[in-house]
Amino acid sequence: MLEGPDRTQLVSLLAWYGELGIDSVLADEPLNWMERPGTAPGEAVRAALSGAAHQGTGTAPTSPSPPPSPPPTPNRRATGGEQPPRTQQASRFTPVTPQAAGAGSARQAAAAVNSLSELRAALERFEGCALKATAKNTCVYRGAEQARLMIIGEAPGRDEDLEGRPFVGRAGKLLDRMLGAIDLSENDVHITNIVYWRPPGNRTPTPQEAQVCRPFLDRQIQLVAPEIILVLGGAAAKSMFNASEGIMRLRGKWKQIEVGDASIKAFASLHPAYLLRTPAAKRLAWRDLLNIREALSKSSD
Ligand code: URA
């Protein structure tokens, strides 16, 4: 065991990592993602992107397209030092945004899914969202396969990433207590997030990351067939309602979410993680929960 100044330095280094949001170890050796020639997160998206351009999307380059980049190594954490450097041609090739290419392949993959187990398998094969590169697990859902109430949060956090299930940490425990207060248990609801992988350091997922995952989420909504969708927190509400307002404006109002031919009643409320930090806001969340309870009791008449 280290003692003395070395130990003090190590402890301060770990504390500093913690401040930066680095709270889990992915590999024995630290890895600088910026120095992995040819295997940066999202590399598979670039490969999909050149595929999309080859299929004549109207955005094909006039010069011959470069060969697709090599797929990522099976071990996402390998340093990949032996990879050949990218070609000049490949780095000039930017006709479609990676997000668009990821969303395109997500749409295709999601359309082929007919059950939640197929959805999970499709997500585990999907390489179009860079969040997957740093996550340990894919978090698809917890709760019932079909439910009258579907709950959509923001993104898996550390506990969710370790367990591979949404809302299992402190915020999830509070969510369960909130549901219990309106006589609902995990078996009555289907719980998921707008993205299926933990953003590094628990940052908010970007609109592009949510957009890439959206075809899978839409398919999930179709499979769960909820009567009501409860959206938790500002990032999820903005994404699901395609809105720019903050959660305080979006919450507490009934809206509709269109998925395929269906139009589903939807309601935004405050995120349980926010309620943990701001107990005074529980008053508003309680009002929202009563609204949900009333709507569920009406729709079951
Ligand atoms: N916060 C979320 O939005 N989702 C989770 O799964 C956990 C915490």
Domain ranges in the chain are 4-72, 99-300
Which of 24, 16, 15 lies closest to 198 in space, CA to CA?
24
Give the pLDDT of residue 14.
78
Name every protein residue with a CB atom under 6 angstroms from any ligand 1 atom: 153-157, 160, 166-167, 169, 171-172, 193, 273
Give the pLDDT of residue 89.
36
Burial 30-64 (b: 16+ CB within 10 A, else e): eeeeeebebbbbbbbbbbbbbebbeeeeeebeeee
Give the pLDDT of residue 17.
72
> Which CATH architecture is the domain 99-300 placed in?
3-Layer(aba) Sandwich (3.40)
Expressed in angstroms and rounded, the spacing between residue 145 Cα and the centre of ligand 1 is 19
Give the pLDDT of residue 209.
97
The closest residue, in CA terms, to atom 3 on ligand 1 is 154
Give the pLDDT of residue 27.
62
Expressed in angstroms and rounded, the spacing between residue 270 Cα and the centre of ligand 1 is 12
CA distances for 244 relative to 11, 211, 257, 268, angstroms: 41, 15, 16, 14
Task: Show pLDDT as tens, one digit a residue, over the chain (301 residues).
Answer: 677 778 888 888 777 776 665 666 666 666 665 555 555 555 554 555 555 444 433 333 333 344 344 333 333 333 333 333 333 333 333 345 656 667 779 999 999 999 999 999 999 999 999 999 999 999 999 999 999 999 999 999 999 999 999 999 999 999 999 999 999 999 999 999 999 999 999 999 999 999 999 999 999 999 999 999 999 999 999 999 999 999 999 999 999 999 999 999 999 999 999 999 999 999 999 999 999 999 999 866 6
To test the pocket of ligand 1, the residue of 139, 154, 240 to mutate (highest count of ligand atoms within 8 Å of its CB) is 154
